[in-house]
């Protein structure tokens, strides 16, 4: 069986490896010159930056791909576990260096916020229980197959559904179970991991912090872009064929069956097609003559990002690998994102400094800052003016919190706004995670990993089930590969 995969993002690479391990003939077509999609890297002067995702959790999903191929992961890819998950800073002066270990985190939270450590450990037990009961069903299986719903595991899980906080928002669930304002805001922020609003997204998404504090946070040696590079090497060694710089122009469908793809005006016959391209553009650009699932394609988009890549002439002991500088009014911040399609006047700022763990990413005594502010999806906003306003605010806030004027220290700069993300990654409206999860049944509303109308047509990646982010994208590839025979 010959399978063509469109795109070489992390989900596509995982799919290709799994299909090749099943003995299929796999060809990957990528418009860019390198694999990885959003997981890319670049240099500004003497500084190296990872352009996309900066957080690595659940590395066993990556290791699994080497295992099923009969290879030793360490021959291709190495990573280290971080003792510290993230450093959090509030404008009232409070701060916590959140340990990846739940027990130490709870102990530190008790000391700093006077919140009982036992209560926080109970919270972790609660979200762990949700994950243990629901992940295998809702994240690792297709929700669009009857066999999933008729299994005994699913029926048991559904009988406990009220315990999953599905009928509370994340914020409401956190307020009930924690209540302490700083910690509520800390746990609310995990809604941004799938581009959603914690005041609307269902409480079941509070399992996300368990991925950090239960499984841990990690750092790939060489940076985040080593993840797709290592998977590309593995896939190549297995016999997957990669065609870089070859943009797919059309998916050929006849009589309800996939017949191949068009590349540079040439028809390439295939038995199956997997699209790692945003599902919106897969229909609009590659299958414009096919009936599209308009209800799914018209759903609210996830948030995007406004990213400043800064080469900093200096170093700061106060910051770690991952840092969050909170705004004062979180509810207003998300109201701006999803209701007004704007960035608030006091946004929360994320700063990633990979040179803390990878010294070669910056010259001695200097640091590479990946500075991100959550942004709405691109709907025609004036990004030039928004960027100028936000840049000024970000520099001012970081300067005040770190006690040093940041502006003059910026010696290299690149800016990526939602319109640029949309253009560079073909993510519709620059949404990082496809549709938002601002609905209690959002997981069931994402596009399936297969087409019900077109035989031989499959999908993987962050815009389809189960969602975006490295772990879910890899699970997407797993589901897709398991569906194919």
Q: Are strands 25-30 and 2-6 parallel, antiparallel or unpaired?
A: parallel
CA distance 119 to 195: 28
Kindly tell me if the per-residue pLDDT of 149 is higher than 60: no
- Total residue count of the chain as it appears in this document: 485
CA distance 23 to 313: 51
For 31, phi then psi, to 5°, come to -70, -30
Per-residue model confidence (pLDDT) at position 10? 97
Higher pLDDT, 445 or 398: 398
Q: Please, which pLDDT band fits residue 393 given cuts at 50, 70 and 90?
A: very high
Kindly tell me if the per-residue pLDDT of 441 is higher than 80: no
Least confident of 145-149, 229-233, 254-258: 145-149
Q: List, as one string, the DSSP characters of 286-338.
A: I-TTSPP-HHHHTSPB--EEEEEEEEESS--TT--SEEEE--S-HHHHHHHHH
Name residue 323's beta-bridge partners. 87, 351
Under DSSP, is residue 12 helix (H, G, I), strand (E, B) or coil? helix
Query: Which has the closest alpha carbon to 17: 484, 356, 477, 436?
Result: 477
Cis bond upstream, residue 51 (ω within 30): no
Query: Which has the closest alpha carbon to 334: 155, 165, 199?
Result: 199
Judge whether 255 and 455 are in contact, CB under 8 Å.
no
Query: Which has the closest alpha carbon to 271: 69, 25, 33?
Result: 25
DSSP state at residue 277 = S
Q: Please, which pLDDT band fits residue 380 given cuts at 50, 70 and 90?
A: very high
CA distance 361 to 181: 36
> What residues contact residue 43 under an 8 Å CB cut-off, 6+ apart?
49
CA distance 57 to 148: 26
Under DSSP, is residue 377 helix (H, G, I), strand (E, B) or coil? coil
Per-residue model confidence (pLDDT) at position 143? 65
What is the rounded average pLDDT of the residues 351-355?
98
CA distance 460 to 477: 6
What are the tens digits of pLDDT across the range 102-148? 999 999 999 999 999 999 999 999 999 888 877 776 776 766 776 66
- Mean pLDDT across the chain: 94
Domain boundaries, the chain: 2-39+225-298+440-483, 107-178+187-211
> Which structure tokens are listed for 299?
């759903």
The CATH number of 2-39+225-298+440-483 is 3.50.50.60
Per-residue model confidence (pLDDT) at position 45? 97
List alpha helices for 49-169, DSSP H.
60-68, 102-113, 117-138, 146-149, 152-159
Per-residue model confidence (pLDDT) at position 159? 62
Higher pLDDT, 242 or 134: 242
Per-residue model confidence (pLDDT) at position 443? 63
Judge whether 356 and 394 are in contact, CB under 8 Å.
no
Q: What separation in angstroms does the CA of 355 have from each of 48, 132, 470? A: 9, 35, 21
Q: What is the CA radius of gyration of the chain?
A: 22
Query: Which has the closest alpha carbon to 478: 1, 22, 4?
Result: 22
Judge whether 278 and 427 are in contact, CB under 8 Å.
yes
Adjacency order of strands within the sheet including 457-459: 241-244, 25-30, 2-6, 272-275, 457-459
> What residues contact residue 419 under an 8 Å CB cut-off, 6+ apart?
378, 383, 430
Least confident of 98-102, 213-217, 313-317: 213-217
Per-residue model confidence (pLDDT) at position 165? 79
Q: Position of tokens 């200096």?
A: 314
Higher pLDDT, 203 or 158: 203
What are the tens digits of pLDDT across the range 24-73? 999 999 999 999 999 999 999 999 999 999 999 999 999 999 999 999 99
Judge whether 449 and 434 are in contact, CB under 8 Å.
no
Q: Please, which pLDDT band fits residue 154 given cuts at 50, 70 and 90?
A: low
CA distance 319 to 310: 15
């Amino acid at each position: 069986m010959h399978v063509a995969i469109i795109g070489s993002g992390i989900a596509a690479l995982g799919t290709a490896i799994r299909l090749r391990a099943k003995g299929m003939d796999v060809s990957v077509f990528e418009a860019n010159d390198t694999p990885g999609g959003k997981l890319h890297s670049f240099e500004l002067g003497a500084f190296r930056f990872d352009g996309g995702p900066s957080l690595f959790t659940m590395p066993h999903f990556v290791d699994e791909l080497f295992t099923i191929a009969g290879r030793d992961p360490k021959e291709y890819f190495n990573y280290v576990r971080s003792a510290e998950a993230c450093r959090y800073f509030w404008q009232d002066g409070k701060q916590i260096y959140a340990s990846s270990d739940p027990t130490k985190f709870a102990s530190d939270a008790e000391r700093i916020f006077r919140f009982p450590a036992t209560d926080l450990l109970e919270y972790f037990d609660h979200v762990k229980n949700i994950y243990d009961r629901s992940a295998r069903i809702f994240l690792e299986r297709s929700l669009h197959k009857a066999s999933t719903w008729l299994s005994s595991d699913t029926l048991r899980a559904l009988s406990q559904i009220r315990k999953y906080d599905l009928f509370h928002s994340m914020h409401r669930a956190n307020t009930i179970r924690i209540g302490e304002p700083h910690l509520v805001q800390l746990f609310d922020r995990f809604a941004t991991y799938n581009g959603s609003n914690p005041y609307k997204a269902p409480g079941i998404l509070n399992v996300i912090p368990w991925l950090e504090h239960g499984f841990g946070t990690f750092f790939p040696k060489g940076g985040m872009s080593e993840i797709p590079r290592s998977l590309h090497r593995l896939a190549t060694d297995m016999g997957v064929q990669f065609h870089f710089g070859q943009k797919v122009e059309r998916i050929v469908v006849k009589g309800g069956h996939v017949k191949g793809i068009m590349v540079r005006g040439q028809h390439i016959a295939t038995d199956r097609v997997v699209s790692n391209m945003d599902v919106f553009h897969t229909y609009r650009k590659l299958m414009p003559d096919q009936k599209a699932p308009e209800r799914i394609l018209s759903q609210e988009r996830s948030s995007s990002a406004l990213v400043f890549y800064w080469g900093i002439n200096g170093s700061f002991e106060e910051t770690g690998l991952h840092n969050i500088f909170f705004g004062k009014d979180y509810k207003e911040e998300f109201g701006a994102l999803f209701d007004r399609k704007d960035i608030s006047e006091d946004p929360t700022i994320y700063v990633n400094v990979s040179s803390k763990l990878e010294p070669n990413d910056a010259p001695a005594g200097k640091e590479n800052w990946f500075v991100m502010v959550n942004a709405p999806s691109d709907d025609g906003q004036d990004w030039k003016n928004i960027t100028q306003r936000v840049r000024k605010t970000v520099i001012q806030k970081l300067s005040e919190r770190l006690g040093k004027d940041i502006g003059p220290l910026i010696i290299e700069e690149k800016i990526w706004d939602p319109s640029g993300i949309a253009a560079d990654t073909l993510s519709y409206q620059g949404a990082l995670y496809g549709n938002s999860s601002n609905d209690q049944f959002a997981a069931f509303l994402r596009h399936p990993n297969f087409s019900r109308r077109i035989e031989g047509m499959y999908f993987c990646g962050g815009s389809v089930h189960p969602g975006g982010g490295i772990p879910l994208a890899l699970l997407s590839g797993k589901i897709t590969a398991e569906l194919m025979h």
